[in-house]
C-alpha cells in the first residue's frame, strides 16, 4: 500500500499505460461493435440468426486463444508480420479489440433490437427508413450503450492472458497492471502484486459505480427498457 | 499501399498509447523467466542502453517458448539455458552462432520437515531417487523450459519416470519458475529451481535449499543472434552489438557484479 | 363550424381489404370512402379492428388482399409522407420534449432558427411550455399524449390519424386537443380519429364509421349514425354507451 501512496513513478506509468491501452481498445471496439450490433438488430437477411449466435459465442472466447491468434497474425512469420506490431502497445490494443468488440456488438444488438421493436411503427410512420433508424436508435439507447462500453472496458483492463502473449510484458513498453501482477506473483512478491490488484479493484469499483449511477439515472428518467 | 496506410494509422495509435518513442532503436530479446525474475537483466541492461542508446526489450518466457518465438522471427536475440536445444536451433539454421554467456546452478528446494531425508546431500540423483521412493510431493515446471528439461535429465539419470505418478505426488504446474515455487511453497513440495530465481523469490514459506553443489546441477546460458536469412527484419547490427557487449569484458563484468543478499547469482564464462 | 371547412377533393378509400392472421379474419372491408370535408370518427367495441383500419390507411400494414387508395391512386410513399399518426400508445423518443419535436421538424428540412420558434409555438399550443427540457419519457400519461399529438401536427400533414388521442386526458386538456383538431380540420387537414367517447364523436365528427368484428357495419353522417343508427350493431354499441 505504501508503494501506491508514495506515488512510485514507475507504478503510475504502468497504471497509465493500462488505462490508455484499454480506453483505446474500447473506443475502437465501439466504433466497430456498435454499428455492427445495431445493423444486426434492424437488418433482416438470411443467416442473421447464425451471426447473432456466433457473436454471442465470441463473447465468451478465451483470452488466451485470442492472444494466440493475434500473435500468429502479427508474428514476423505471420501474415501481418511486416507491420512489426508484435510486442507493442498496439498489439495489445488489437487483442483487446478482438476480445471486447463481440461484447459491445452483442450488447448493442440486444439493446437496439428491443428499442427497435418499440419504435418500429412510430419511425415508419415518420418515414424513417431502416438504415436511417440506426443512428436514431443508437442515440436513444445511449445510456444502455455506455453501460455496454463500461462492461467492455472492465473486460479489457482486467485481461491478462492475451496481452501477455502479444505484448510480451516488456518493461516500460508493454507492461500493464495485469501482466505486472502476473510477474510479481511469479517472483513471489505477493505484496506488490496485491497492491496492484487493489488499484485494479479500485478501477473496477469505479467503473461499476458509474454503471449503476447511469442505470439509476436511466431508470429515474424512464429511459430504461426492461 | 493499403498496408502502408494501415501501418501509418496503427503507428499513430501505437504512438499515442506508447510511452516510448518509436524512433529510438531497440532490439527484442527472447529470454527466460530466470534472467528476468532474478533481477539480473534489470541490473545489467541500463549500462548497455546508456552506452549504445539501444533499448533492450526483454520477453521473458520458458526456454521452449522462447526458442519457438525466435523460430517465428519474433525476436532479434535469444538468451536461454538449454544447450542441446540451442545447438539444434543453430543447426536448423534459425540462429547464426551460439556463444556461452554465463552459468548458474540449480538447487533442490524442499520443506524443512524433509520427508525424503535428503538435506545436506551433494548427490542430486540419489536425492531424487529418495523423493520418488517415499513419494514425497514434488512440483515440476512441466512446461518444456530449460529448467524442466534439466529436471527431466536428472530423473533419467535416477532411472525414474515420475510422469507415471503425475497428478499424485508428482505435480506438473505447466507454468513459470515463480508460479511453480508458489505451488511448492503452498503444498510443502520439493522443487528443482535455478538458484537465481530462488534467491530473489519472496514467498518461500517453509521451503529451504536441501541439495546443492552437485556438478550435474550446472546451468549454462547461451546467446544467439536470430538468423536474418530466415527473417530479414531481424535487427542484425543492434542485436550483434548486444551480443558482443554481453560476452565482452563490460557485459561479463556486469554479470559478475550482480549480487543479491551478498551472493553472486550468475558466473560469466564467455570464451 | 363545419360550414367553414374548405371543400376538399381529396379522397381516401379502401377497396376489398382483408387481413387474416392464423386463419382468423381480423379486418374485412369491401368498400369504404372517406371523402367528406370534416373529421371522420371511428367507433366500435374493443377488438373490433379500429386500430387495424388506421394502420391500413396509413400503410403500416399491407393487407393480404385489396387496396388503399388516395385520390384513386394506390397508396404510395409520397402519400404516406403527407400523413401523420398518433398511436393509441404514444411512442416518444428517449430525448427531451423539445428534441422530440425537433426530430420531425429537422427531417422536414426546417432551418435551425425556424425550428426553435416553431417548437415554442407548438408547446405553447399544447400547454407544455414549461416542459421544454424535460425528458419526454418522464412526462405524465396525458402530457405524453399531448406531446405525441403536437409532434404529429408538427409534421403539417394532409391527413392525420388519431387513435384514441384523448383517452388519458383530463377534461380541460381534452377540450384543448379537440380545439386543435378542429382547427387543423378547418385548415383542410383530413382527420381520421378513433374514440370511445360518444360525446366527443358528437362534438367533432362530420361522419362516423361504426365497426364490429373487423367489419364496417355502418358509415354515415354523424347525426344520422348517432341518433338513428341503421345497424343493430351500432344500436347496441350506442345503447351500451348510454347505460355506462
Ligand atoms: N398481429 C396480430 N396478430 C393477431 N391478432 C391481431 C394482430 N393485430 C391485431 N390483432 C387482433 O385484431 C383485433 C383488432 O385489433 P385492433 O387493435 O384493431 O382493435 P381496436 O378496435 O383498436 O380495439 P381497442 O378499442 O381495444 O383499441 C383484435 O382482436 C386483436 O387482438
Ligand atoms: Mg385500438
The answer to whether B32 touches B61, Cβ cutoff 8 Å, is: yes
Residue C170 lies in a domain: yes
CATH number at residue C181: 3.40.50.300
Fold classified for B105-217: D-Maltodextrin-Binding Protein; domain 2 (3.40.190)
User: Would you put residue C188 in left (φ > 0), alpha (ψ -120 to 50) or beta?
Assistant: left
Q: From CA A95, how far away is CA A91, in angstroms rounded?
A: 6
Angle at CA C110, nearest 5°, toward C104 and C111? 130
Ligand 1 pocket: which of C47, C162, C194, C241 to mutate (most atoms <8 Å of CB)?
A: C47
| Residue among A83, A93, A189 whose CB faces B202 most closely | A189
CATH number of A20-176: 1.10.3720.10
Q: For chain A, what are the domain ranges?
A: 20-176
**Does the pLDDT at position A160 exceed 80?**
yes
Q: From CA A103, how far away is CA C206, in angstroms rounded?
A: 56
Distance C214 CA to ligand 1 centre (A): 9
Mean of pLDDT values over A169-186? 92
Select from A122, A128, A133, A220 the residue whose CB has the most chain C CBs within 10 Å, as the one to mutate to test that interface: A122
Residue with cell 529510438: B24
Ligand 1 atom 19: the closest Cα is on which residue? Answer: C47
Say yes or no: C230 contacts chain A, CB-CB below 8 A: no
The answer to whether B183 touches B192, Cβ cutoff 8 Å, is: no
At residue A44, φ and ψ (nearest 5 deg) are -125, 115
| Residue among A127, A143, A223 whose CB faces C81 most closely | A127
Q: Counting atoms of ligand 1 from 1, which one is nearest the CA of C44? A: 21
Pick the CATH number of B2-103+221-268 from 3.10.20.30, 3.30.70.2190, 3.40.190.10, 2.40.50.140: 3.40.190.10
What is the reported pLDDT for C242? 47
The answer to whether B268 touches B249, Cβ cutoff 8 Å, is: no
Contact: A222, C95; criterion CB under 8 Å: no
Q: Is C touching A (3+ C-beta pairs, cut-off 8 A)?
A: yes
In chain A, the largest separation of any two C-alpha atoms, in whole Å, equals 66
Distance C76 CA to ligand 1 centre (A): 24
Residue C117 lies in a domain: no
Q: How close C148 comes to chain A (CA, Å)?
A: 10
The answer to whether C158 touches C190, Cβ cutoff 8 Å, is: yes
Q: From CA A2, how far away is CA B256, in angstroms rounded?
A: 33
Strands B138-140 and B170-172: parallel
Beta bridge partners of residue B193, listed in sequence order: B107
SS3 C227: helix
**Of residues B43, B100, B133, B25, the one with CA closest to residue B271:** B100
What is the reported pLDDT for A9? 82
Q: Which CA distances in Å does C40 have to C7, C79, C181, C226, C230?
A: 15, 18, 11, 13, 18
Q: From CA C210, how far away is CA B214, in angstroms rounded?
A: 105
Residues listed for chain B: 271
Per-residue pLDDT of C125-181, as tens digits, reads 888 988 999 999 889 988 999 999 999 999 999 999 999 999 988 999 899 999 999
At residue B160, φ and ψ (nearest 5 deg) are -125, 150
Q: Counting atoms of ligand 1 from 1, which one is nearest the CA of C53? A: 18
Contact: A168, B59; criterion CB under 8 Å: yes
Interface A:C, Cβ pairs < 8 A: 43
Spatial neighbors of B219 by CB under 8 A, at least 6 apart, are B81, B103, B104, B105, B106, B146, B147, B150, B194
Q: Counting atoms of ligand 1 from 1, which one is nearest the CA of C49? A: 18
Residue segments in chain B with a per-residue pLDDT below the cut of 70: 1-23
Ligand 1 atom 4: the closest Cα is on which residue? Answer: C21
Contact: B14, A186; criterion CB under 8 Å: no
Mean of pLDDT values over A193-199? 91
SS3 C139: coil
**Does the pLDDT at position C244 exceed 50?**
no
| Residue among C93, C107, C137 whose CB faces A221 most closely | C137
Q: Which CA distances in Å does B255 have to A59, B148, B243, B244?
A: 47, 24, 13, 14
At residue C15, φ and ψ (nearest 5 deg) are -130, 120
What is the reported pLDDT for B128? 96
What is the reported pLDDT for A6? 58
Distance C28 CA to ligand 1 centre (A): 13
Q: What is the pTM of this model?
A: 0.82
User: Up-side HSE of residue A29: CA atoms within 13 Å toward CB?
Assistant: 33
Say yes or no: A205 contacts chain B, CB-CB below 8 A: no
Say yes or no: A161 contacts chain B, CB-CB below 8 A: no
Contacts of A128 in chain C (CB under 8 A): 107
Q: For chain B, what are the domain ranges?
A: 2-103+221-268, 105-217
What is the reported pLDDT for A189? 86
Q: Which CA distances in Å does C78 have to A15, A42, C9, C59?
A: 58, 24, 17, 11
> Dihedral of the CA atoms B8, B14, B16, B21 (nearest 10)?
-90
The answer to whether B93 touches B229, Cβ cutoff 8 Å, is: yes
The answer to whether C63 touches C27, Cβ cutoff 8 Å, is: yes
Query: Which chain A residue lies closest to C87 (C-alpha atoms)?
Result: A122
Residue with cell 386543435: C180
The answer to whether A58 touches A132, Cβ cutoff 8 Å, is: no
Angle in degrees, 0-180, between the axes of helices A142-157 and A89-125, rounded to the nearest 10: 160
Distance A111 CA to ligand 1 centre (A): 27
SS3 B52: helix
Mean of pLDDT values over A173-186? 92
What is the reported pLDDT for B23? 57
Ligand 1 environment, Cβ below 6 A: C 21, 26, 44, 46-52, 88
CB atoms within 10 A of CB C81: 15
Q: Which CA distances in Å does C206 have to A62, C182, C227?
A: 68, 11, 13
Angle at CA C141, nearest 5°, toward C139 and C147? 60
Distance A125 CA to ligand 2 centre (A): 16
Instruction: Please classify residue B167 by burial: count the beta carbons closer than 10 Å to its beta carbon, then call 0-12 exposed, 13-18 middle and 19+ buried.
Output: exposed
Q: Which chains touch C (3 or more CB pairs under 8 A)?
A: A
What is the reported pLDDT for A162? 95
Chain B residues in contact with chain A using a Cβ-Cβ cutoff of 8 Å: 3, 6-7, 10-11, 13-14, 16-20, 28, 33, 36-37, 42, 55, 57-60, 69, 71-74, 175-179, 181-182, 185, 200-204, 231, 233
Ranges assigned E (strand) in C22-136: 24-34, 40-43, 65-70, 73-74, 83-86
Mean of pLDDT values over C98-118? 94
Q: From CA C187, how far away is CA C37, in angstroms rounded?
A: 11
* Number of the ligand closest to the Cα of C49: 1
Residue B144 is classified by DSSP as S
In which domain, by residue range, is C157 found? 12-92+139-238
What is the reported pLDDT for B8? 57
Q: From CA B137, how far away is CA B189, in angstroms rounded?
A: 5
What is the reported pLDDT for A141? 92
Q: Which CA distances in Å does B230 have to A213, B71, B227?
A: 56, 9, 6
The answer to whether B18 touches B226, Cβ cutoff 8 Å, is: no
At residue B145, φ and ψ (nearest 5 deg) are -85, 175
Per-residue pLDDT of C5-53, as tens digits, reads 444 457 899 999 999 989 899 999 999 999 888 999 999 999 999 999 9
Distance C47 CA to ligand 1 centre (A): 5
Per-residue pLDDT of C56-102, as tens digits, reads 999 999 888 889 999 989 999 999 999 999 999 989 999 999 999 99
Select from C83, C94, C156 the residue whose CB has the most chain A CBs within 10 Å, as the one to mutate to test that interface: C94
Ligand 1 pocket: which of C19, C50, C215 to mutate (most atoms <8 Å of CB)?
A: C50
Say yes or no: C91 contacts chain A, CB-CB below 8 A: yes
Select from A125, A139, A141, A145 the residue whose CB has the most chain C CBs within 10 Å, as the one to mutate to test that interface: A125
Q: How confident is the model at residue A225 (pLDDT cuts 50, 70, 90)?
A: very low
Amino acid at each position: 500500500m505504501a508503494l501506491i501512496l508514495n506515488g512510485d513513478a514507475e507504478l503510475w506509468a504502468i497504471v497509465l499505460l493500462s488505462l490508455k491501452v484499454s480506453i483505446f481498445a474500447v473506443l475502437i471496439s465501439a466504433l466497430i461493435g456498435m454499428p455492427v450490433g445495431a445493423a444486426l438488430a434492424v437488418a433482416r437477411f438470411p443467416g442473421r440468426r447464425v451471426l447473432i449466435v456466433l457473436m454471442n459465442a465470441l463473447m465468451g472466447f478465451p483470452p488466451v486463444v485470442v492472444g494466440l491468434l493475434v500473435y500468429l497474425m502479427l508474428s514476423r512469420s505471420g501474415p501481418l508480420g511486416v507491420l512489426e506490431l508484435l510486442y507493442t502497445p498496439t498489439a495489445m490494443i488489437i487483442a483487446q479489440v478482438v476480445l471486447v468488440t463481440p461484447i459491445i456488438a452483442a450488447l448493442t444488438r440486444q439493446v437496439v433490437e428491443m428499442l427497435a421493436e418499440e419504435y418500429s411503427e412510430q419511425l415508419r410512420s415518420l418515414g424513417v427508413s431502416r438504415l436511417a433508424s440506426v443512428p436514431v436508435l443508437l442515440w436513444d439507447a445511449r445510456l444502455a450503450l455506455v453501460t455496454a462500453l463500461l462492461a467492455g472496458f472492465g473486460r479489457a483492463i482486467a485481461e491478462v492472458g492475451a496481452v501477455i502473449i502479444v505484448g510480451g510484458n516488456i518493461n516500460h513498453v508493454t507492461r500493464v497492471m495485469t501482466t505486472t501482477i502476473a510477474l510479481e506473483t511469479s517472483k513471489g512478491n505477493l505484496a506488490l502484486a496485491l497492491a496492484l490488484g487493489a488499484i485494479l479493484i479500485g478501477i473496477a469499483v469505479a467503473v461499476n459505480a458509474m454503471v449503476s449511477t447511469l442505470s439509476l439515472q436511466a431508470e429515474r428518467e424512464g429511459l430504461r427498457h426492461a | 499501399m493499403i498496408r502502408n496506410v494501415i501501418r501509418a494509422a496503427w503507428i499513430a495509435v501505437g504512438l499515442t498509447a506508447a510511452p516510448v518513442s518509436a524512433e529510438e532503436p531497440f532490439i527484442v530479446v527472447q529470454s527466460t523467466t530466470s534472467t528476468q525474475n532474478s533481477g539480473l537483466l534489470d541490473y545489467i541492461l541500463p549500462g548497455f542502453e546508456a552506452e549504445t542508446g539501444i533499448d533492450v526489450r526483454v520477453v521473458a518466457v520458458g526456454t521452449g517458448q522462447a526458442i519457438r518465438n525466435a523460430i517465428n522471427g519474433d525476436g532479434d536475440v535469444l538468451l536461454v539455458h538449454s544447450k542441446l536445444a540451442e545447438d539444434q536451433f543453430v543447426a536448423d539454421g534459425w540462429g547464426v552462432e551460439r556463444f556461452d554467456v554465463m552459468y548458474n546452478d540449480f538447487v533442490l528446494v524442499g520443506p524443512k520437515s524433509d520427508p525424503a531425508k535428503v538435506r545436506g546431500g551433494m548427490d542430486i540423483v540419489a536425492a531424487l531417487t529418495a523423493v520418488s521412493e517415499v513419494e514425497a510431493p514434488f512440483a515440476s515446471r512441466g512446461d518444456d523450459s530449460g529448467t524442466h528439461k534439466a529436471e527431466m535429465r536428472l530423473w533419467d539419470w535416477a532411472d525414474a519416470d515420475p510422469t507415471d505418478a503425475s497428478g499424485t505426488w508428482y505435480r506438473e504446474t505447466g507454468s513459470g519458475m515463480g508460479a511453480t515455487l508458489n505451488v511448492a511453497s503452498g503444498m510443502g513440495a520439493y522443487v528443482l529451481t535455478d538458484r537465481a530465481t530462488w534467491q530473489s523469490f519472496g514467498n518461500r514459506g517453509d521451503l529451504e535449499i536441501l541439495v546443492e553443489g552437485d556438478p550435474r546441477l550446472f546451468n549454462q546460458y547461451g546467446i544467439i543472434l536470430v538468423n536474418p536469412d530466415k527473417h530479414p527484419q531481424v535487427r542484425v547490427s543492434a542485436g550483434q552489438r548486444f551480443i558482443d557487449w554481453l560476452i565482452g569484458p563490460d557485459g561479463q563484468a556486469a554479470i559478475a557484479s550482480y549480487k543479491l543478499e551478498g551472493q553472486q547469482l550468475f558466473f560469466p564464462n564467455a570464451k | 363550424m363545419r360550414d367553414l371547412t374548405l371543400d376538399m377533393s381529396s379522397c381516401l378509400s379502401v377497396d376489398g381489404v382483408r387481413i387474416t392472421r392464423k386463419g382468423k379474419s381480423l379486418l374485412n372491408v369491401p368498400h369504404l370512402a372517406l371523402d367528406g370535408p370534416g373529421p371522420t370518427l371511428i367507433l366500435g367495441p374493443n377488438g373490433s379492428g379500429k386500430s387495424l383500419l388506421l394502420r391500413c390507411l396509413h400503410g403500416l400494414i399491407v393487407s393480404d388482399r385489396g387496396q388503399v387508395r388516395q385520390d384513386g391512386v394506390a397508396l404510395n410513399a409520397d402519400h404516406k409522407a403527407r400523413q401523420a399518426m398518433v398511436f393509441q400508445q404514444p411512442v416518444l423518443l428517449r430525448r427531451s420534449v423539445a428534441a422530440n419535436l425537433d426530430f420531425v421538424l429537422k427531417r422536414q428540412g426546417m432551418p435551425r432558427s425556424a425550428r426553435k420558434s416553431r417548437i415554442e409555438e407548438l408547446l405553447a399550443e399544447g400547454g407544455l411550455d414549461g416542459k421544454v427540457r424535460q425528458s419526454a419519457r418522464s412526462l405524465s400519461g396525458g402530457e405524453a399524449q399531448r406531446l405525441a399529438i403536437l409532434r404529429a401536427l408538427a409534421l403539417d400533414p394532409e391527413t392525420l390519424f388519431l387513435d384514441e388521442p384523448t383517452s388519458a386526458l383530463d377534461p380541460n386538456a381534452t377540450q384543448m386537443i379537440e380545439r386543435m383538431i378542429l382547427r387543423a380540420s378547418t385548415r383542410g387537414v383530413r382527420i381520421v380519429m378513433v374514440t370511445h367517447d360518444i360525446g366527443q364523436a358528437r362534438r367533432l365528427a362530420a361522419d362516423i364509421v361504426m365497426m364490429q368484428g373487423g367489419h364496417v357495419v355502418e358509415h354515415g353522417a354523424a347525426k344520422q349514425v348517432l341518433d338513428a343508427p341503421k345497424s343493430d350493431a351500432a344500436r347496441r354499441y350506442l345503447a351500451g354507451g348510454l347505460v355506462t
